[in-house]
Amino acid sequence: MVFVKKYPADKLKIISRIRYNLLGKIKRPLEIFMLDVNDLNYPSPFLYEVYHNNKLLHGKNSIVRCRDAISKMKPLVLNGVKVGYYV
């Protein structure tokens, strides 16, 4: 899940290419969900499940907003580059 300040409609091809290039390089399946940071202000069954099941947190804003989950976080590193966090 990626939290963004503005939905990057002009960058969807790049995002799709990144996802495609990671296939087969990491063990777990990768699905990219993009949400506006303002969506965090409203209750959502989807966000509830993601937050409470703590599958993957990615991005600067999600770490700040989910401080209580940080103690369980492990970085997801691919070729020496941190690309996300497993929780």
For residue range 5-32, list pLDDT tens digits in order: 777 788 888 888 877 887 777 777 667 7
Confidence bin at 54 (pLDDT 50/70/90): low
Which among 5, 29, 2, 25 is positioned nearest to 14, based on CA atoms?
2
Q: Report which DSSP code applies to 5.
A: S
pTM above 0.85, yes or no: no
Task: Give the pLDDT mean for 47-53.
Answer: 69
Q: Report which DSSP code applies to 62.
A: H
Determine the Cα–Cα distance for residues 37 and 4; give it in Å rounded to an integer: 6
